[in-house]
Amino acid sequence: MTNNSAEWKDEALTVNNYKKLISLLDSITPDLISFQEIDFHSKRSNWIDLHDSLATHYYPWSVKAINWDNNYVPFPYWPPSVHFGRILSGQSIMSKWELADPKREVLKKVESNPFYYNAFYLDRLLVSAKVEHPIRDFLLMNVHAEAFDKLTRNQQLASIYQSFKTEGKAQPVIIAGDFNATPESKEPGLQLFLSDSTIGCVAFHSDQPNYFTFSSGNPEERIDFIFYTKKDFVEWDGHVATEFGEISDHLPVIARLKFKN
C-alpha cells in the first residue's frame, strides 16, 4: 500500500511482506500464478528480485516479461528522497508444469500522454504461455491494462478479447490479471468478457464487498479477474484471498478449475 505514497519503503517492510507471502503460498500451494507489477531488480523493493526468489522457491517453470526498465523514475514526485529511482519490473507467469511458446505483446499506448511522461511510464502488456498440463494443454494469458486513460483501456481490452476468442477456438484459455475496470462502470472493454455467455468469470459477485480486490487496505471495487473458456473448464471454487492483506495494493483472486470431459 506504500507504493503510491510519498514515504520511504524500508527493507524491513519488503522483507516482512515477502515472508508473509511465502507463508501463505506454503499453505495454498497454487499450481500457477499470474503476477502483475512484480519487481525484478528495483530500488522500491530494496533490490530483491521477487520473481527469481519465488520461482526458485516454488516453480520449475516461469516466464518473465519486462515492461518497465528505467534508470530513474521520479515518482512519487516529492520529496526526491522517496523517488522510485531504478526500476526493472514487469509481469510473470509461474507454473508447476512446463511452459512453452511464451509471448509478450505491448498493448496500445496512451496517445494523449506527453512524450516526457511516456519516457518514464511502463508498458502495458499481454503475456501468454502454453501450459503443458498432464491432462490437456491450455493457454494462460496475463494482462495488465491501462489504469488512467479510459479510452485506451477499452481499446486494449477489446483487442485482448479478440485474442482470447481467437485462441479459444483452438485450445482451452485462461486469462488472469488487472483489468483496471469495474463491472459497475459498464466500460465496453470489460463488458465484452462479462456479457459473453461462452466465457466464465471466477468468483463473480462484484456487488459484494468480500469479492472486492482494490485497494487491499480498504477494498471498494473489483478490478482483478480470472476468465476462462466455458467449453473447456468448469469452476470448482473461486474467491478473493483477503488473508493476503496489504502485501500488495491488490487482493489476489484464486481459482480452482476442472477440465470438462
Beta strands per DSSP E along 20-151:
32-39, 61-73, 85-95, 99-106, 125-131, 138-144
β-strand pairing of 138-144 with 173-178: parallel
Q: What is the residue whose three cell numbers read 498440463?
A: 133
Q: Is residue 4 part of a domain?
A: no
C-alpha cell at 127: 503475456
Which residue type, as a one-letter code, is found at position 35? Answer: F
**Mean predicted lDDT score pLDDT of the chain:** 94
C-alpha cell at 179: 483489468
- Report the CATH number at residue 186: 3.60.10.10
Structural domains in the chain (count) = 1
The whole domain housing 138 covers 11-259
Q: Is residue 41 part of a domain?
A: yes
pLDDT at 57: 86
Q: Is residue 58 part of a domain?
A: yes
Asked whether the predicted pLDDT for residue 109 surpasses 80, the reply is yes
Q: Is residue 127 part of a domain?
A: yes
Residue 53's H or E segment, with its range, is helix 50-58
Picking from 8-12, 119-123, 179-183, 218-222, which range would have the lowest pLDDT averaged per residue?
8-12
pLDDT at 75: 81
Categorize the per-residue pLDDT at 119 as very low, low, confident or very high, splitting at 50, 70 and 90: confident
Q: Is residue 141 part of a domain?
A: yes
Q: Are 125 and 102 in contact (CB under 8 A)?
A: no
Which pTM was predicted?
Answer: 0.94
Q: Is residue 111 part of a domain?
A: yes
Categorize the per-residue pLDDT at 209 as very low, low, confident or very high, splitting at 50, 70 and 90: confident
Categorize the per-residue pLDDT at 4 as very low, low, confident or very high, splitting at 50, 70 and 90: low
Asked whether the predicted pLDDT for residue 50 surpasses 90, the reply is yes
Categorize the per-residue pLDDT at 206 as very low, low, confident or very high, splitting at 50, 70 and 90: low
pLDDT at 208: 82
What average pLDDT does this structure show over 53-78?
A: 92
What average pLDDT does this structure show over 111-117?
A: 88
Q: Which tops the pLDDT comparison, 8 or 152? A: 152
Q: Is residue 2 part of a domain?
A: no
Asked whether the predicted pLDDT for residue 69 surpasses 90, the reply is yes
**Residue 173: Cβ within 10 Å count:** 23
pLDDT tens digits for range 77-103: 888 888 889 999 999 999 999 999 999
Q: Is residue 3 part of a domain?
A: no
Asked whether the predicted pLDDT for residue 8 surpasses 80, the reply is no
